[in-house]
Chains A and B, each alone.
Chain A
Amino acid sequence: MEKRLIKKETLAGIVGELAGKMRVCAPMKAEDQVLFRILEAGEKPLVDFANTKNAPKNFLFPRTETLLKFTRTGKGMVRAGEPEEGEKTLLFGVRPCDARSFTLLDMLFDQEKYKDPYYIDKRAKTTIVAIACVHPPYTTCFCTSVGGSPVDSVGVDLLLTDLGNEYLAEFLTPKGEELLAAFGGSPAGAEAEKAKEGIAARAAGEIASHIPAHEIKPILDTHFEDPFWNTLHQKCLACGTCTYLCPTCHCFDISDEVKRDDGIRIRNWDSCMFPMFTKETSGHNPRSSQKERWRQRVMHKFRYYPDNFNAIACVGCGRCVMACPVNLDIRKIVTDIAKI
């Protein structure tokens, strides 16, 4: 693995220059928020930010994507072209938690039994450049409780760690190494390595939120019916804020949109928090209230995903904690379940 030192002040410019050559998605200021968006050629991304309001999953698993096109003919509906293929993309400024979320999405969309060609195509064409959290950006961060860490390199192609005046750039994968020429820099020695180790230990120690995420699996296994679920959901608005901002939530709905003779079949984000999510054509809804929907959300992340893929479907970014309009705090929920 190649390791380089890159002068801090040059980083935004390097990425801005790349934006002229390929599709670059990066954190940018949007009024009072920081959001991922596609950069214009030469546009410099933010390099000094806490984390983005939205998760970067939109670039691999878009909120809406076309699966196929069709048109009406004398012989009925026929296919009228395939969706556009994914573009080579650089996803810059991802935090280690969010980079890890892609490996969790891979487990589902790119498994032995089922392959999702739309996701796999975009994933293969996307290079992930992550910026390690030298200081955890929020007190609500809990990555260390769910298997991550502030300087984690899981799911990352090129990891940048701020050493003070320079970034330590670790080109971790062949995709990352393709960026060697663009990023330049000077070879990094053992000293930089040591500095990074120090940062890693200190940053992990600075994580302020800890939850018993692994401990609740056996409790969930045996407490599908428990009075705990009766009150948990009471204040939930049944909006999709938590699931739409979550880097690992991946449920979708497919619908057709037709204008005169031409139509598209689109896949859209859906949310287990929505009453419509499981509503059947007959009108029957197997998850008839928000109680069942909340139980599903918790079970999916902390029981079914571990059952299916041996991993918790949460990376501890804390977005849902900060954005939930009624302060339904997943940290408290998991802690409360551990007490059952």
Chain B
Amino acid sequence: MENVEKKLREEAKGLLAEKKVDVVVGYEKGTLPLTATPCFITTPEEADRLVWNPFCVLNLAKFVHDLLDQHHEAQKRVKPEARRKKVVGVVARGCTSRSLVIQLQEKQYGKDEIVILGVPCGGYLDGKKLAALAGGEEVREGALSEGKIVVKTVSGERQAALKDLLADNCLVCHFNQPVIADIQTGEVAPVAEAEKEYDPVTAFENLPPEARWAYFEKEMAKCIRCTACRNVCPSCYCRICFAEQSQPRWVDIGADASDTQLFQLMRMYHMVGRCVDCGSCTAVCPMGVDLRKFLKKLDKDAFEMFGHRAGVSLEEPAPLGAYRETDGEEFIFEPKAGG
């Protein structure tokens, strides 16, 4: 990983020095142990702040979209002859690159407006698993060396293998390399146990409907409607979200359980064939809502019914955004139990 980080800094420095990009969106060291946080590098000198390690969690495509969207809006107020292009460089792992593909497919910006700094990825550290390792105590210090995470808490030192602390989505990831990249910074990382990808969903599907609904209700009851899940999602970029529309008002803002359930249900249904399982929504949730369970079910449906994996190729549109004569229709006429 050190080599990738070194190469990443060099490439970013070069892009900025040659003015090929206006900004590089990447990760820098966070203020808490074992964390990295998104950063925006605009000068070659700052490029040494960039890091690449298993603490880099969030999908940065969200920021790429927002930067370019804001720029496009701002340019509308400028005379056509004075308009300028903004180019955003982005540090992209597999899932981030897939989100970039989705945004490109959905014509949010042009390929010439981004430079993809591809990084190999072996997965990121899961906050909940780390908290469990620390026994619910605060992680006061932490270190990663030779595949081992060592944390210090008030009651002592604990350690675990990094692979046991990786996020669930990383453990079943098919995309340890970016699907598209302008610059590659490293070797292929080991492939995870991708064949087990849908096992937990299948197990969940096999539960009786009451049990599934009870789980949904239990998880949604934790939600405080901070909207971190929606705001971090690279596929959730509506200028005005349905949750904030007032004519008509789809979802009320109070704490009524049905409003929270509806907000999450509608958001998730907008993700069919557009969710790359980056895990960002689950990672940012302050209340620990298991959003992934439901999103993964929709992802499984998109895969099984349409053979589609979100954002894998620029040529293949999302199933609900395209029509094919071979599209299945059994789910309308012969819905399966649990389907």
Within 8 A of B (CB), among A292-313: none
Q: Is the CB of B32 within 8 A of A327?
A: yes
> Which A-chain residue is minimally distant from B31 (CB atoms)?
A329
Select A235's contact among B35, B37, B225, B244, beta carbons within 8 Å. Answer: B37
Q: Is the CB of B32 within 8 A of A322?
A: yes
Cβ-based interface call for A191 (8 A):
no
Q: Is the CB of B224 within 8 A of A244?
A: yes
* A residues near B231, Cβ cutoff 8 Å: 237-239
* B residues near A111, Cβ cutoff 8 Å: none
Q: Is the CB of A268 within 8 A of B58?
A: no
Q: Is the CB of B254 within 8 A of A255?
A: yes
Within 8 A of A (CB), among B213-266: 222, 224-228, 231-232, 244, 252-256
* B residues near A137, Cβ cutoff 8 Å: 138
> Which A-chain residue is minimally distant from B39 (CB atoms)?
A235
Closest CB in chain A relative to B220 CB, distance in Å: 14
Closest CB in chain B relative to A323 CB, distance in Å: 5
Interface string of B120-131 (1 = CB under 8 A from A): 000000001001
* A residues near B138, Cβ cutoff 8 Å: 50, 137-140
* B residues near A63, Cβ cutoff 8 Å: 224, 255
Select A53's contact among B31, B37, B254, B286, beta carbons within 8 Å. Answer: B286
**Given that A139-B140, A326-B38 are contacting pairs, would A268 and B255 also be in contact in the complex, using a CB cutoff of 8 Å?**
yes
Cβ-based interface call for A257 (8 A):
yes
Cβ-based interface call for B136 (8 A):
yes
Closest CB in chain B relative to A62 CB, distance in Å: 8
Give the number of residues in B that approach A within 8 Å (Cβ atoms). 39
CA distance A128 to B307 in the complex (A): 58
* A residues near B140, Cβ cutoff 8 Å: 139
* B residues near A239, Cβ cutoff 8 Å: 226-228, 231-232, 284
Cβ-based interface call for B200 (8 A):
no
* B residues near A245, Cβ cutoff 8 Å: 286
Cβ-based interface call for B194 (8 A):
no
Closest CB in chain B relative to A30 CB, distance in Å: 8
* B residues near A241, Cβ cutoff 8 Å: 226, 228, 284, 286
Cβ-based interface call for A8 (8 A):
no
Within 8 A of B (CB), among A32-66: 32-33, 50, 53-54, 62-64
**Given that A257-B254, A268-B254, A323-B286 are contacting pairs, would A237 and B232 also be in contact in the complex, using a CB cutoff of 8 Å?**
yes
Cβ-based interface call for B175 (8 A):
no
Cβ-based interface call for B322 (8 A):
no
Report which A residues bind B (CB closer than 8 A): 30-33, 50, 53-54, 62-64, 135, 137-140, 231, 234-235, 237-241, 244-245, 253, 255, 257, 266, 268, 271, 274, 276, 289, 321-323, 325-329, 331-332
Q: List 13 A-B contacts (CB under 8 A).
A: A31-B288, A32-B132, A32-B136, A53-B286, A54-B224, A140-B32, A234-B38, A235-B40, A240-B224, A241-B226, A255-B254, A266-B254, A322-B32
6 nearest A-B pairs in the assembled complex, by CB-CB distance: A325-B284, A239-B228, A327-B37, A64-B255, A240-B226, A237-B231
